[in-house]
Amino acid sequence: MDQPTWQAGVYAALKAAGIRQIGYVPDAGHAHLINAAHADPDMRAVVLTTEEEGIALAAGAWLGGQRAALLMQSSGVGNCINMLSLSVNCRMPFLTLVTMRGEWGEFNPWQVPMGVATPTVLGAAGVHVRRADRPDEAVEMVAASAALAFDSHIPVAVLFSQRLLGAKVFVK
């Protein structure tokens, strides 16, 4: 599977952190991680109908003795606001990797409001927010964030900037 180095490294960091389940709503920005999870016999990749289901998936995994991570886009963060209280109030670890939209090179004005609000919304909900803007910091950021989430039993989000991912374009 041909993966950019930093994305292959992020997947390796998830594996090293003991992640055994990946919940996701399909997203081109997470395509490499999603494909790697599906190809890995030791990983369970679960497609979700909405992002907040991923918080319940992570809670259930934790209660069952496994670790999970949620892959979502910044536009999905708004769907999770109420459900984020589960990990905060129950002191359960929660790790999410968020591909940002509405930033550098965005073509879709509908993505801008939630892209701007994502860090504030997550922080206000009690989630510790980290951000990766460059390929050379993404792997270390995910590894450190996974350790923080699972060692401290707190919710942690890693935001992958749109510049890191590359601007999304649609071909006519």
Both tokens of residue 136?
Answer: 């050379």
Q: Is residue 105 part of a domain?
A: yes
Among the listed residues 163, 27, 170, 165, the one whose alpha carbon sits nearest the alpha carbon of residue 104: 163
Q: How far apart are CA 18 and CA 49, in angstroms?
A: 25
- What averages of pLDDT result for each successive group of 10 residues across the chain (172 residues)? 77 98 95 97 97 97 98 94 95 96 78 87 97 96 98 97 80 63
Residue 63's CATH number? 3.40.50.970
Q: Is residue 147 part of a domain?
A: yes
In order, the DSSP letters of 62-127 are: HHTT-EEEEEEEHHHHGGGTTTHHHHHHTT--EEEEEE--SSTT---GGGHHHHHHHHHHHHHTT-
Supply the pLDDT for residue 111.
Answer: 80
Supply the range of the domain harboring residue 114.
Answer: 5-163
Task: Write the CB contacts of 22 (distance below 8 Å, at least 6 apart in sequence).
Answer: 14, 33, 34, 37, 43, 44, 45, 46, 68, 69, 70, 71
At residue 172, the 3 state secondary structure works out as coil
Supply the pLDDT for residue 1.
Answer: 44
Q: Is residue 172 part of a domain?
A: no
In order, the DSSP letters of 45-57 are: EEE-SSTHHHHHH
Q: Is residue 169 part of a domain?
A: no
pTM of the full predicted structure?
A: 0.93
Q: Is residue 12 part of a domain?
A: yes
Q: Is residue 155 part of a domain?
A: yes
Q: What residue has token string 């002191």? A: 91
Phi, psi of 60 (to 5 degrees): -65, -40
Q: How many domains, the chain?
A: 1
What does each C-alpha distance from 80 to 26, 56, 122, 131 come to in angstroms? 16, 10, 9, 19
Supply the pLDDT for residue 102.
Answer: 75
